[in-house]
Amino acid sequence: MELIQGLLASQFAFSVIMLLGLLGLILTSTAVCILAERKIAGFIQDRKGPNRVGPWGLLQPMADGLKFFLKEDIVPACVERPLFLLAPCLSFFLAMLGFAIIPWAGEIHWPWMAAGQTVTTQVASLDIGLLYLLAVGSLGVYGVALAGWASNNKYSFYGGMRATAQMLSYEVPMGLGLLCVLLVAGTLRLEVIVDQQAQSGWWNVFLHPLPCLLVFISLLAETNRTPFDLPEAEQELVGGYHTEYSSMKFAMFFLGEYIHMVTASALMVALFFGGWHVWFLTSVDNTAWWAGLIKFGVYLAKVAAFIGFYMLIRWTLPRFRFDQLMRLAWRSLVPMGMALVAGTSVLVALGWHRNVVASLGLNVLLLAIVLVIVSRLPYVVTGRQANLPDVEVRPG
């Protein structure tokens, strides 16, 4: 018992325990996400979804995993074999690095610890916390690009190039949206940003809804989720960058996408939705172990809600065309993000950046300006590509 108490009271040992526990939780959650996605897809499409393997289809993720293991592992003869094998490993393992700086439950004081001593529920507390998360997330593009290039398949190559262009493009508006939060918070530490929201009682989504929207849309594109799943576009690219992959190599891409989605949801919760904070339930001052469990449960519930929203969007909205996707990034989100950063900088210079009325007023003003500009555009906003020739449809 003394050994367990000592491990829990040591920040290093507690961080290792958190690391192992979260790895198991996230890997397990991917199976739950796969089942939830198929159930949500069935509900939206007015069908039952998986209901044969186990009661209510609960064992379907196990059957899917077994299927991946038993499928023949094919490596085409003309691929760049080292890079071909490296690509899925990169996508999978890089996706698992981001959760390390997420502040899951604030600080905990165990009863056997000295007064004033606490342990933090982060695997690693870094001064450059948010920059670390962005750096690790941006490295994920290498796995996709290498998979497309090393496959020696033109459709895979097109998928890899699409993914590269998409991820690089949407990192710009995401960075601008995050910069608005950083200007107001004055720190890169996620735990401090969460504590600020908990102490003030105002989540950043209420003060900065437009930056929240920018970051959320960009994260959809970063995770290749519909309507931004152009790199996979089955109707156009056979199967996208992973056309030549099979068995567990394909499964690693698949699992990496879900792990990336979990990390992206956890980031959104920390930056804009108060992290573990809920009014009248959790507070910064309460560091008891039972309060830590409540905070952890609250955080996981918010992440689960975000993942459900991701899935709802996937089965509701149609896929963008590639020129529409690029136009949305460079002609809409980037100018809006630059205007938000400029406006937030003015508020910080005037000392009004924590004023609720001033922050919301800036967002409302910029939204009104955007609506006026859109209403006065000289061309019609349409899904049809401008340079396509007219097609004459003849009866019969």
What local confidence, expressed as pLDDT, does residue 389 receive? 63
What local confidence, expressed as pLDDT, does residue 301 receive? 93
Q: What is the mean pLDDT of residues 304-308?
A: 91
Please determine, for residue 210, whether its predicted confidence score (pLDDT) is greater than 90: yes
What local confidence, expressed as pLDDT, does residue 234 receive? 58
Please determine, for residue 303, whether its predicted confidence score (pLDDT) is greater than 90: yes
DSSP 117-145: --EES-S---TTHHHHHHHHHHTHHHHHH
What local confidence, expressed as pLDDT, does residue 356 receive? 87
- Tens digit of each residue's pLDDT (9 = 90 or more) over 359-390: 899 999 999 998 888 888 776 655 556 666 66
Name every residue whose Cβ is closer than 8 Å to that of residue 241 and which is 6 or more positions away in sequence: 144, 145, 147, 148, 151, 156, 159, 160, 163, 231, 232
- Tens digit of each residue's pLDDT (9 = 90 or more) over 105-118: 888 888 888 887 88
In three-state secondary structure terms, 108 is strand
pTM: 0.88
CA distance 257 to 231: 13
Q: How would residue 239 be classed by pLDDT, with cut points 50, 70 and 90?
A: low
Per the omega criterion (within 30 degrees of 0), is the bond before 227 cis?
yes
User: In this structure, are residues 124 and 114 in contact, taking their beta carbons and an 8 Å threshold?
Assistant: no
Q: What is the mean pLDDT of residues 332-347?
A: 92
User: In this structure, are residues 383 and 324 in contact, taking their beta carbons and an 8 Å threshold?
Assistant: yes
| 367, two tokens | 């939204």
Q: What is the mean pLDDT of residues 72-79?
A: 83
Q: How would residue 253 be classed by pLDDT, with cut points 50, 70 and 90?
A: confident
What local confidence, expressed as pLDDT, does residue 47 receive? 87
What integer best gives the mean pLDDT of the chain?
85
Please determine, for residue 342, whether its predicted confidence score (pLDDT) is greater than 90: yes
What local confidence, expressed as pLDDT, does residue 392 receive? 62
Amino acid (1-letter code) at residue 47:
R
What local confidence, expressed as pLDDT, does residue 300 receive? 92
What local confidence, expressed as pLDDT, does residue 344 receive? 92
Q: How would residue 238 be classed by pLDDT, with cut points 50, 70 and 90?
A: low
Please determine, for residue 159, whether its predicted confidence score (pLDDT) is greater than 60: yes
Please determine, for residue 164, whether its predicted confidence score (pLDDT) is greater than 60: yes
CA distance 121 to 109: 11
Q: What is the mean pLDDT of residues 24-32?
A: 85
Tell me the H-state helices in 51-99: 60-70, 81-95
Nearest to 183 by CA among 162, 218, 208, 166: 208
DSSP 247-275: HHHHHHHHHHHHHHHHHHHHHHHHHHS-T
CA distance 316 to 306: 15
